[in-house]
Amino acid sequence: MAITGELIAIEERPPAGAPADDAALWRVGLVSFAGVQREVSLACVPAARLGDQLLVHVGFALGVVEDTTADDATDSPAADPADAAAQDTAGVGR
């Protein structure tokens, strides 16, 4: 399971003697999850920028979540849980 949070700070923390070409591996971000802030590795998302919404699992940012609007969510057939449940049970008992 992964959750989303907002990237609010970025820092590079290379270990002593690390090659300069590996700088992206040592990026660490401060991510806010509804006000709770945690440090997260940004090694998997080198394109992450301040303000991005990140998908985070066990301390690693796995991806940048694209911005969507509420209108897009309500247009999808699965947006209404009742509709999704009806679709799941449509073939039951036949």
Question: Which range of residues forms the domain containing residue 28?
Answer: 3-89
For the chain, the maximum distance between any two Cα atoms, rounded to a whole number of angstroms, is 67
More confident residue, 5 or 76: 5
Instruction: Enter the DSSP assignment of 89.
Output: H
Please, which residues bridge with residue 61 across strands? 56
Helix (H/G/I), strand (E/B), else coil: 13: coil
Strands 27-33 and 36-41: antiparallel
In a domain? residue 94:
no
pTM over 0.75: no
Q: What is the pLDDT of residues 23-48, one digit of tens each?
A: 788 999 999 999 999 999 999 999 99
Q: In whole angstroms, give the CA distance from residue 74 to residue 80.
A: 8
| Number of independent structural domains in the chain | 1
Task: Check which CATH number belongs to the domain holding 30 and give it.
Answer: 2.30.30.140
